Structure 1
């Protein structure tokens, strides 16, 4: 006599499917052992390669940091040409060489900003622009500085609206950047020169409201007077 078949619970169905999947997987591995081993080996090679690359990049970045720290004394002393070229016969490698050899590292990207600044201080604005524009590091302060450097170049060429847009962009990279009020002020000044009075007023008002202890705040009232 046939008995009524017991209805499986959801848990039992799930366990049954899991067992089925397990045996199917085992069967596939047995039938395709060489292929599976090849995939595992390939994955292991990729993992090792990634670890090697990350370690290599880290060591390169560390090396660039050491070289950059050595040359910064020259930069801070205002010896910009020496900072760019370095000193032959010493361990002082110039900013230009650091950028050439380590430009893809974070410290190499930082060196681009100081190299661009050095060219700007020497009056070589085209070269400065090249390195400001090439910056692609992850540091917000340097990213803003790169944009402001480009803005300064276009302001010197009389392209006031473009300069203003870049200064504004630099100001908006980070609201905690100590240079933000200065970037806002310079953006406003360039908007004034471009004839965009409302845009200039809006930026000057931010300085008035939010940056009362900044040097930009001490200057902003005279520009408001010019606008009225």
Structure 2
């Protein structure tokens, strides 16, 4: 014979841990309802801001990339001033983007082509100081900065920049080229010992490079 189900009392229901937790949670929500709503709204607002920031950043990168492409085209057509105008606007409006960083480098290059060596010096230096993601462009910026100083007859400063770039990228295939330029500028600055040292490094450290023979020739002339 089946036994009748035992009826659960209200007291037993109240003593059930899960039920107790449920009612406590309801009481907490009722008591702190306004704060919970405010917190939820704050979280949603923060999420919205993150989404909008991400969208804005993508849009800025896209616009900056488009401007960079236009500037490169103008440079390829020898319309240097047009390229400079595009780049200046892009660097100002899209600062922080990858394309803006490249724009700073291109401004140095464009001003150099225009013959404005002081501004070329400024932008090449700015690229070296502020950006280091692209070793090829940083190397190019050292070369451009040295050349800008050289064009202003600042041979000692140019030599030091070339040498600094060569040391920073000593494993790069462009390092011996920078050392040769440093040696030449040290000669122009009448710093013969430093010039010899640069040529000697090329001979010893970059014996496989195409600059070794030139370095040996220049060193022999200085030792004659």
Q: Residue 113 of structure 1 aligns with which residue?
A: 105
Cα gap change, 1:114/1:178 in structure 2, threshold over 3 Å: closer, same or farther?
farther
CA RMSD of superposed structures (Å)? 3.4
Cα gap change, 1:211/1:78 in structure 2, threshold over 3 Å: closer, same or farther?
farther
Q: Residue 144 of structure 1 aligns with which residue?
A: 139
Matched, 1:155 2:147: no
Find the aligned partners of 1:210 and 1:149 in 2 and give their Cα distance. 24
Displacement of 1:123 = 0.8
- Alignment partner of 1:201: what SS? helix
Q: Which runs of 5+ in 1 are unaligned?
A: 1-31, 86-93
Q: Residue 122 of structure 1 aligns with which residue?
A: 114
Q: Which runs of 5+ in 2 are unaligned?
A: 1-31
Cα gap change, 1:178/1:70 in structure 2, threshold over 3 Å: closer, same or farther?
farther
Find the aligned partners of 1:59 and 1:165 in 2 and give their Cα distance. 41
Find the aligned partners of 1:51 and 1:191 in 2 and give their Cα distance. 54
**Equivalent pairs, count:** 193
Displacement of 1:56 = 3.3
Q: Residue 166 of structure 1 aligns with which residue?
A: 161
- Asked whether the 8 Å contact 1:103–1:112 carries over to 2, the reply is no
Q: Residue 61 of structure 2 aligns with which residue?
A: 61
Displacement of 1:37 = 9.8
Q: Deviations over 1:145-181 (max 9, x none)?
A: 2233222222233332221111112223323544322
Find the aligned partners of 2:96 and 2:126 in 1 and give their Cα distance. 11
Report which stretch shifted further, 169-178 or 47-56. Answer: 47-56
Cα gap change, 1:46/1:197 in structure 2, threshold over 3 Å: closer, same or farther?
farther
